[in-house]
Amino acid sequence: MTVPGGFFRSLADIDALERTPYEEAIPARTTYGLIARAAQRFGDRTAFAYLASGELDAVAQRISYAALLAQIHRAANLFRSLGVGRNDAVAILAPNVPSTQYALWGAQVAGRACPINFMLQPDHIAALLKASGAKVVVALGPHPQLDVWGTVARVPGIGDFKVLRIGEGALSASAASAASSDSFEAALAAQPDQLQFDPQLSHESIAALFHTGGTTGAPKLVQHTHGNEAHTAWFAHQFYGFDEHTVEINGFPLFHVAGAFVYGLSLLAIGAAQLLPTVTGMRNAAFMRNYWKFCEREKVTALACVPTILAGLCNLPVDADISSVRVAYTGGSPLPHELASRFEASTGIAVRNILGMTECAGLVSIEPVGAARVPGSAGLRLPYSQVKAVKWRGDSVQLDEPCGAGETGVIVLRGPNVSPGYTDAARNSGMFEGGWLISGDLGHIDANGYIHVTGRAKDVIIRGSHNIDPGLVEEAFLAHPAVAMCAVVGEPDAHSGEVPVAFVTLKPGMEVTGDAVLAAVSPQVYERPATPRRVVVLDALPLTAIGKVFKPALRLKAIELKLLEVLSPIAGPRSLDVSSTEGGTAVRISGDADEALVQRLRDALGAIAVRVSFAFDHQPPVASHSSTSGNRS
């Protein structure tokens, strides 16, 4: 059932739908059920159009819904034949190509899917394989553009798993003969195209394990039930305004919830088509060069983005007929109003925003295309869920103290999309509390039910005892005519604990110094303590695999800049090389060891709360500086 008119336009439409019993509002509560239903209704329609190349002469490989379902059946049969049961996992290390799709959804029928970021270090991949309970690994075979196979070969203990090789791309005879594991496609072809077992799936069955929490540290796997993933997938289209005639570009990896559910299963659930742009996705230079021409050729109606992709497309001349494109959906990080307005003005395509988390199968809220864009908003909550802002004190949330309309707090939620927790239940504390998922996002909910995210609670910069929301500072910089992107993080400070520092990139053709940008923007920053100490102009901001700004790398850069500023005058003619290490920050000093110099350097650091080790070119480490002072949460 959908609301009158078919799509959501306001919170009232969501409220109206919720008067329908949940079981009547969703046609299937498993991922397999949703895809099977779409295949029954739209068997001949295209599910995927895959481009092996980003050049315009590339012929798309088209997979129908009927063919997709048959391949999912084959994959499920294959995994079950290899001993994968309901509580076992299939680990998947491969880009968003058709065979990876078969593996992802087939694994959820036979057991559990565990898509893994193939850009992780081999040791971390090994830990995830162990934590997931994987029995089978499906990985991209040797490929000239993406060396996943080389990474997999270096994973400790990989020989203990059955490894299946996705044969995407033309392999040389030598590469093919060197591949020591079985062909995934050949193994699929040997299986029947109908299920050979009863999967006994329910909405409570664990469908997948998704890793989260960055690229370092111990494995952290989120459990998704079939009900979690089905919920986000089904109700998304009523915000998006999508139907079976939608054609969307999905260049996101399947190890991220954006590629798998937000822009993936949500399309498969309704019989729509996804254009998959090469093994390297949106990082493919040729595809990005021809982006608008592919939109015209494939009659694309919707774009799947993050803000950094929007910024890049703003700088790409529109050299094709893109009148078919109705909307660009973006998420992953707050959407700057200035960026959205610039994109809409340069392309004529509406922009709408999304808020999501791995811990709730990718979606918290969506901005409906059927209503005007609300600047700073991440949209309305999903149906049959609850979202509220609650008071935040230091490092703890007060679930029984909701914020009023427009009052900033930490966003929390509960509903059918919320995961039952991590595989390691000890990690649930502070994230899954009293039936609520603690998002960690700072923001508020306005009088119309729109959710506004202004930053991350853990990203809050604490200057003395003053809390600074970096998102609000970034907004001021993004209004500067020369600034393309901005990220604000904390820089260590002996007096205040930390102070803001801004990293920016410039629009093409713009030349301006960091000092000039700071002078122009300072009067517009929302409060004086939030004004950054410095502005650093970079060629590019560090990004995650899906194009989100990776702030941990910028925090390390801020530490390095601060140390150079403090220590260089004392080091005199000696050169300093500052680098980040697992245990803190390392400072290498040119020349011979000098313990007196180290003592002066240590004294200069004073109360700066950064762990630093000192070493000389001609001697192993001779001293270290460690301080736990400063006010930081």
Highest mean pLDDT among 120-129, 415-424, 603-612: 415-424
| Cβ atoms of 198 and 86 closer than 8 Å | no
Which one, of 193, 119, 128, 188, lies nearest residue 161 by Cα? 128
In whole angstroms, give the CA distance from residue 583 to residue 611. Answer: 8
Percent of residues, the chain, with pLDDT higher than 70: 90
Domain assignment present for 64: yes
Look at the block and give the residue holding tokens 């950054």. 532
Which one, of 230, 516, 501, 499, lies nearest residue 382 by Cα? 230
Q: What is the pTM of this model?
A: 0.77
**Phi, psi of 516, deg, nearest 5:** -65, -40
Residues 370 and 441 grouped into a single domain: yes
Asked whether the predicted pLDDT for residue 621 surpasses 70, the reply is no
| Cβ atoms of 357 and 272 closer than 8 Å | no
Model pLDDT, residue 578: 81
Of the residues 503, 518, 551, the one at which a domain ends: 551
DSSP state of 59: P
Q: How far is CA 163 from CA 159, 383, 537, in A?
A: 8, 40, 45
Q: From edge to edge, which strands make up the β-sheet containing 497-506?
A: 483-493, 497-506, 535-537
List b or e across 158-182, with b for residues whose CB sees 16 or more CB atoms inside 10 angstroms: beebbbbbbbbbebeeeeeeeeebe
Domain assignment present for 3: no
Domain assignment present for 559: no
Domain assignment present for 5: no
The CATH number of the domain where 320 resides is what? 3.40.50.12780
pLDDT in tens, 558-596: 988 888 888 889 888 888 888 876 556 888 888 888 888
Model pLDDT, residue 241: 96
| Cβ atoms of 282 and 253 closer than 8 Å | no
Q: Which residues contact 545 (CB under 8 A, 6 or more apart)?
A: 117, 119, 253, 255, 256
Model pLDDT, residue 337: 80
Residues 365 and 469 grouped into a single domain: no
Which one, of 235, 193, 213, 202, lies nearest residue 102 by Cα? 193
Domain assignment present for 139: yes
Q: Is 564 helix (H, G, I), strand (E, B) or coil?
A: helix
| Cβ atoms of 459 and 262 closer than 8 Å | no
As for how many domains the chain has, the answer is 3
Look at the block and give the residue holding tokens 């499920």. 76
Domain assignment present for 424: yes
Is residue 240 within a helix (H) or strand (E), and if so which, with residue range?
A: helix 226-240
pLDDT in tens, 79-102: 999 999 999 999 999 999 999 999
pLDDT in tens, 145-192: 999 999 999 999 999 999 999 996 433 333 333 344 489 999 999 999
**Phi, psi of 492, deg, nearest 5:** -60, 145
Model pLDDT, residue 556: 85
Residues 399 and 417 grouped into a single domain: yes
Residues 254 and 193 grouped into a single domain: yes
Residue 450 CA, distance from chain mean position? 22
Which tokens is 587 given? 């400072």
What stretches of 429-550 show up as alpha helix (H) in DSSP? 470-478, 514-521
Residues 442 and 471 grouped into a single domain: no
The full 3-state SS of 165-227, as one line of letters, equals EECCCCCCHHHHHHCCCEEHHHHHHCCCCCCCCCCCCCCCCEEEEEECCCCCCCCCEEEEEHH
Q: Which of 294-308, 382-396, 504-518 has the lowest mean pLDDT?
A: 382-396
Q: How far is CA 564 from CA 493, 551, 609, in A?
A: 13, 20, 15
Of the residues 551, 574, 606, the one at which a domain ends: 551
**Residue 494 structural domain:** 459-551
Residues 510 and 531 grouped into a single domain: yes
Residues 479 and 443 grouped into a single domain: no
| Cβ atoms of 232 and 263 closer than 8 Å | no
Residues 427 and 376 grouped into a single domain: yes
Domain assignment present for 91: yes
Positive or negative torsion for Cα 216, 220, 226, 228: negative
Q: Which residues contact 483 (CB under 8 A, 6 or more apart)?
A: 477, 504, 505, 506, 507, 517
In whole angstroms, give the CA distance from residue 55 to residue 74. Answer: 32
Which tokens is 176 given? 């093919």
| Cβ atoms of 303 and 329 closer than 8 Å | yes
Share of the chain residues as helix, strand and coil, in percent rounded to the nearest 5: 35, 25, 40
Query: Which one-letter amino acid corresponds to residue 594?
Result: D
**What is the pLDDT averaged over residues 349-356?**
96
Model pLDDT, residue 179: 43
**What is the pLDDT averaged over residues 257-281?**
97
Residues 225 and 147 grouped into a single domain: yes
Residues 390 and 497 grouped into a single domain: no
List b or e across 201-234, with b for residues whose CB sees 16 or more CB atoms inside 10 angstroms: bebebbbbbbbeeeeeeebbbbbbbbbbbbbbbb
Model pLDDT, residue 547: 80
Domain assignment present for 527: yes
Of the residues 551, 574, 596, the one at which a domain ends: 551
The CATH number of the domain where 502 resides is what? 3.30.300.30
Residues 580 and 500 grouped into a single domain: no
In whole angstroms, give the CA distance from residue 566 to residue 544. Answer: 30
Residues 471 and 427 grouped into a single domain: no
